A and B are shown apart, each in its own frame.
Chain A
Amino acid sequence: DTEVTQTPKHLVMGMTNKKSLKCEQHMGHRAMYWYKQKAKKPPELMFVYSYEKLSINESVPSRFSPECPNSSLLNLHLHALQPEDSALYLCASSQDSHSYEQYFGPGTRLTVT
């Protein structure tokens, strides 16, 4: 099983809403990642979790709050987002923090109105 799953596939939220994105992998990977991808741009790293601990935060605004409840799950909590936060949010995992190959989920298409 080399699959990373993400839910929901699409999300529309208002600027005052609170919502969460979910990511799951069952490959036994110990590193998980959140990326943001705007249209016609490459994915940009947001957060890295290694062994369930936050290891990298790429100066992401606090309205994005990551959480890693266990080694298989990764959440991204959203609150008071702006329209410019509309993007494709991608989750990825790798065997551990020393592994180069990352495996991506299909993404959540987020629209902030």
Chain B
Amino acid sequence: DQQVKQNSPSLSVQEGRISILNCDYTNSMFDYFLWYKKYPAEGPTFLISISSIKDKNEDGRFTVFLNKSAKHLSLHIVPSQPGDSAVYFCAANEGAQKLVFGQGTRLTINP
């Protein structure tokens, strides 16, 4: 049973516009959520995180929103840049040591 789901395998956005990546989870015990970005032939790179006690965290062009009642989080990238083209993984912590990843969303930024 998949506890972290990213229902959109791919997303295409025009350069300069907002990219919104979505993630749903089923385990109400998750208390920390992270977004990772992955380029081909590289390991995932930590992007931004949010604790379950918050509903928003912002870092430059990246903002993560958490809706605990809906068990939903989203990553907003604005403005989108060509270098943002990558696979984005949502992850949740089941205990501090164990990350559970979603399936990933491939983001393509078009010039």
Binding site for B on A (CB under 8 A): 4, 6, 31, 33, 40-45, 48, 50, 55-56, 90-92, 94, 97-107, 109
Contacts and interface: CB of A to CB of B under 8 A. Distances in A.
B7 to A, nearest CB: 14
A31 B45 contact: no
A104 B45 contact: yes
Q: Is the interface of A mostly helix, strand, loop or mixed?
A: strand
Contacts of B45: 104
Nearest to B90: A42
A100 B96 contact: yes
Contacts, number: 59
B25 interface: no
Contact of B32 (A6, A31, A100): A100
B63 interface: no
Interface residues of B, number: 21
Interface of B: 4, 32, 34, 36, 41-46, 49, 89, 93, 96-99, 101-104
Contacts of A100: 32, 34, 49, 93, 96
B96 A97 contact: yes
Contact of B44 (A43, A44, A94): A43
Nearest to A105: B43
A4 B101 CA distance: 20
B49 A101 contact: yes
A99 B41 contact: no
Contacts of A56: 97-98
Nearest to B9: A40
